[in-house]
């Protein structure tokens, strides 16, 4: 039997410390479990662009066969990704983008579309009139740039919807609590908070709650993960009014990588669908998620059983072999 060729995939992750990224890794690992011929090397830049540049250089030096990059800040990460690409390493950009078109394939949802969806939702829920505060992703990441762009581009069509402020949501470094509190307490009534991810949305909710505004101020987040205290659950419990599912692209990035490495046809732009979840469709989403989780657990249980059986039969054949040579 012909052995499949061995390949090394290097993955440069901008940060690994939140649940959305953890879900991305699980999705990648699930797909990789079908490909024992792949050696997968992941480097986590812990949210630091300088560190990510260094780590991508290390992966280039290591001569990986393919590079997957989820860039921290678009502008800073662009030159090193272009360098890898120019060296002939196939590059897949995952989730966030660089500023360049020098890459082999892109996998991810469209962040401009995420911003537009949030803008349309704001107008609907506010019935055409109200003040909005936006809380960002990491400033300078393509998620931040495009989610903002899509949002303002859309609310421009609604003259009585005003974006009053955009706060820095990079609260791993510092908190937006004081600024949001001041805005909520100001004479101008704040009606809606657009958070570029669900982690910030929970914090925004807690700040509103402290001030007794949690019923009045509407909040939308982004990510819509499955699980307790994640986006879908928060909408179901009416803590958030809505979330936008932003798929991780973990599985798709590995599938695209394998096609590229095996010289099979692949799509250059792999745009994943983002979906708005609010009270009208959250129940069905939750049920669907529960079903998928149960099916996944079932598959994993079967895989473990097959492994156990394989180990037993290998053990038995080595005993038979040992008996036959003695």
**Which residues on adjacent β-strands are paired with residue 91?**
67
> Site mask, ligand FRU, residues 113-152, x = CB under 6 A?
------------------------x---x-x---------
Tally the residues of the chain.
326
Cα–Cα distance measured from residue 91 to residue 88, given in angstroms and rounded to the nearest whole number: 9
- The per-residue DSSP string of 129-183 comes to -EEEEEE-SSTTSHHHHHHHHHHHHHHTTSTTEEEEEEE---TTTS--HHHHHHH
Would the CA dihedral through 279, 121, 178, 160 be positive or negative? negative
* Nearest distance in Å: CB 260, ligand FRU: 22
Cα–Cα distance measured from residue 102 to residue 119, given in angstroms and rounded to the nearest whole number: 31
**Which residues on adjacent β-strands are paired with residue 11?**
42, 68
* Nearest distance in Å: CB 223, ligand FRU: 5
Cα–Cα distance measured from residue 14 to residue 259, given in angstroms and rounded to the nearest whole number: 24
* Segment lying near ligand FRU (by CB under 6 A), choices 17-25, 84-92, 154-162, 250-258: 17-25
> Site mask, ligand FRU, residues 217-236, x = CB under 6 A?
-----xx-------------
Cβ proximity to ligand FRU, 222 vs 257, nearer residue: 222
* Nearest distance in Å: CB 177, ligand FRU: 19
- Determine, following the binding rule CB under 6 A, whether residue 18 of this chain makes contact with ligand FRU: yes
* Nearest distance in Å: CB 199, ligand FRU: 6
Q: Can you tell me which of 11, 12, 21, 204 binds ligand FRU, judged by CB under 6 A? A: 21
- Determine, following the binding rule CB under 6 A, whether residue 96 of this chain makes contact with ligand FRU: yes
3-class SS of residue 187: coil
Cβ proximity to ligand FRU, 95 vs 191, nearer residue: 95
Residues that bind ligand FRU (CB under 6 A): 15, 18, 20-21, 95-96, 137, 141, 143, 197, 222-223, 246
């Amino acid at each position: 039997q012909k052995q499949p060729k061995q390949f090394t995939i290097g993955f440069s992750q901008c940060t690994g410390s939140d649940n959305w990224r953890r879900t991305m890794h699980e999705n990648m690992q699930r797909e990789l479990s079908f490909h024992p011929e792949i050696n997968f090397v992941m480097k986590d830049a812990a949210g630091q662009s300088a560190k990510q540049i260094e780590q991508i250089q290390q992966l280039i030096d290591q001569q990986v066969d393919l590079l997957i990059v989820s860039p921290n800040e678009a502008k800073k990460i662009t030159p090193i990704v272009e360098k890898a690409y120019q060296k002939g390493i196939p590059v897949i950009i995952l989730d966030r983008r660089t500023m360049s078109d020098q890459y082999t394939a892109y996998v991810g949802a469209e962040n401009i579309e995420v911003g537009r969806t949030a803008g349309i939702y704001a107008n609907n829920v506010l019935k055409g009139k109200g003040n909005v505060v936006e809380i960002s992703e990491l400033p300078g990441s393509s998620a931040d740039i495009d989610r903002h762009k899509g949002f303002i581009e859309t609310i421009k069509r609604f003259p009585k919807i005003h974006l009053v402020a955009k706060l820095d949501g990079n609260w791993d470094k510092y908190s937006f609590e004081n600024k949001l509190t001041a805005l909520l307490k100001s004479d101008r009534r704040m009606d809606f908070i657009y958070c570029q991810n669900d982690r910030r949305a929970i914090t925004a909710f807690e700040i509103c709650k402290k001030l007794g505004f949690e019923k009045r101020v509407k909040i939308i987040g982004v990510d819509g993960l499955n699980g307790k205290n994640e986006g879908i659950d928060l909408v179901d419990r009416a803590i958030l009014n809505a979330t936008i599912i932003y798929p991780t692209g973990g599985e798709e990035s590995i599938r695209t990588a394998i096609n590229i490495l095996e010289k099979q046809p692949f799509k250059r732009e792999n745009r994943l669908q983002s979906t708005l979840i609010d009270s009208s469709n959250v129940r069905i989403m939750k049920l669907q998620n529960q079903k998928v989780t149960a099916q996944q657990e079932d598959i994993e249980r079967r895989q473990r059983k097959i492994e156990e059986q394989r180990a037993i039969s290998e053990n038995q054949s080595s005993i038979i072999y040992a008996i036959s040579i003695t």
